[in-house]
Amino acid sequence: MALFPISSKFEGDFVLKLVPVDTENTMAEVAAAAAEHSVGVHVPDQPGRPIRARAEGSTEAYPLDMKLSETGLGPTDTVEFYFE
Protein backbone atom coordinates (compact mmCIF):
# COMPACT_ATOMS: atom_id res chain seq x y z
CA MET A 1 0.00 0.00 0.00
CA ALA A 2 1.39 3.34 -1.06
CA LEU A 3 0.03 6.81 -1.63
CA PHE A 4 -0.12 7.44 -5.37
CA PRO A 5 -1.16 10.71 -7.07
CA ILE A 6 -3.10 10.60 -10.32
CA SER A 7 -4.21 13.43 -12.56
CA SER A 8 -8.00 13.22 -12.87
CA LYS A 9 -9.59 14.30 -16.14
CA PHE A 10 -13.33 13.97 -15.56
CA GLU A 11 -15.52 14.23 -18.67
CA GLY A 12 -17.33 17.58 -18.57
CA ASP A 13 -14.89 19.14 -16.09
CA PHE A 14 -12.59 21.86 -17.38
CA VAL A 15 -10.01 21.46 -14.60
CA LEU A 16 -7.52 18.61 -14.16
CA LYS A 17 -7.29 17.55 -10.52
CA LEU A 18 -4.40 15.90 -8.69
CA VAL A 19 -6.05 13.15 -6.63
CA PRO A 20 -4.24 11.09 -3.97
CA VAL A 21 -5.22 7.41 -4.06
CA ASP A 22 -3.63 4.16 -2.91
CA THR A 23 -1.91 1.61 -5.13
CA GLU A 24 -4.15 -1.10 -3.64
CA ASN A 25 -7.39 0.75 -4.48
CA THR A 26 -9.61 -0.82 -7.11
CA MET A 27 -10.42 1.31 -10.13
CA ALA A 28 -13.95 1.65 -8.73
CA GLU A 29 -12.43 3.20 -5.58
CA VAL A 30 -10.14 5.41 -7.67
CA ALA A 31 -13.17 6.58 -9.69
CA ALA A 32 -15.05 7.38 -6.47
CA ALA A 33 -12.08 9.41 -5.20
CA ALA A 34 -11.91 11.36 -8.46
CA ALA A 35 -15.67 11.95 -8.41
CA GLU A 36 -15.42 13.68 -5.02
CA HIS A 37 -13.50 16.50 -6.69
CA SER A 38 -15.65 16.90 -9.82
CA VAL A 39 -19.18 15.50 -9.46
CA GLY A 40 -21.51 18.09 -8.00
CA VAL A 41 -18.83 20.76 -8.47
CA HIS A 42 -18.17 21.05 -12.22
CA VAL A 43 -19.97 17.90 -13.42
CA PRO A 44 -23.64 17.16 -12.68
CA ASP A 45 -24.30 13.95 -10.76
CA GLN A 46 -25.84 11.10 -12.75
CA PRO A 47 -27.33 8.74 -10.13
CA GLY A 48 -27.48 5.10 -11.15
CA ARG A 49 -24.72 5.42 -13.75
CA PRO A 50 -21.35 3.92 -12.82
CA ILE A 51 -18.18 5.96 -13.20
CA ARG A 52 -15.55 4.30 -15.36
CA ALA A 53 -11.84 5.01 -15.76
CA ARG A 54 -9.44 4.64 -18.67
CA ALA A 55 -5.92 5.73 -19.51
CA GLU A 56 -5.78 9.08 -21.26
CA GLY A 57 -6.44 8.60 -24.97
CA SER A 58 -7.61 5.00 -24.58
CA THR A 59 -11.03 3.70 -25.62
CA GLU A 60 -10.89 0.73 -23.22
CA ALA A 61 -12.07 1.17 -19.64
CA TYR A 62 -10.21 -0.50 -16.80
CA PRO A 63 -12.16 -3.30 -15.09
CA LEU A 64 -13.78 -1.92 -11.93
CA ASP A 65 -12.12 -4.61 -9.79
CA MET A 66 -8.60 -4.03 -11.20
CA LYS A 67 -6.15 -2.62 -8.67
CA LEU A 68 -4.38 0.62 -9.49
CA SER A 69 -1.04 -1.17 -9.07
CA GLU A 70 -2.00 -3.50 -11.97
CA THR A 71 -2.69 -0.73 -14.50
CA GLY A 72 0.88 0.23 -15.38
CA LEU A 73 0.15 3.88 -14.62
CA GLY A 74 2.90 6.06 -13.20
CA PRO A 75 2.56 8.80 -10.58
CA THR A 76 0.64 11.84 -11.90
CA ASP A 77 -0.37 10.02 -15.11
CA THR A 78 -3.70 11.28 -16.41
CA VAL A 79 -6.73 9.05 -16.00
CA GLU A 80 -9.97 9.88 -17.80
CA PHE A 81 -13.20 9.37 -15.84
CA TYR A 82 -16.70 9.30 -17.31
CA PHE A 83 -20.23 8.15 -16.56
CA GLU A 84 -21.08 4.92 -18.37
**Distance separating alpha carbons of residues 35 and 38, to the nearest angstrom:** 5
For the entire predicted model, the pTM comes to 0.94
pLDDT at 25: 98
Residues listed for the chain: 84
44, 47, 74, 82, 83 from 55: Cα distances, Å: 22, 24, 11, 12, 15
pLDDT at 35: 97
Across the chain, which has 84 residues, the per-10-residue mean pLDDT values are 95 96 98 96 96 97 98 97 97
CATH fit for domain 7-83, picks 3.50.50.60, 3.40.190.10, 3.40.1190.20, 3.10.20.270:
3.10.20.270
pLDDT at 29: 98
Q: Answer for the pair 18, 76: CB distance below 8 angstroms, yes or no.
A: yes
53, containing H or E segment = strand 51-55
The residue ranges of every structural domain in the chain are 7-83
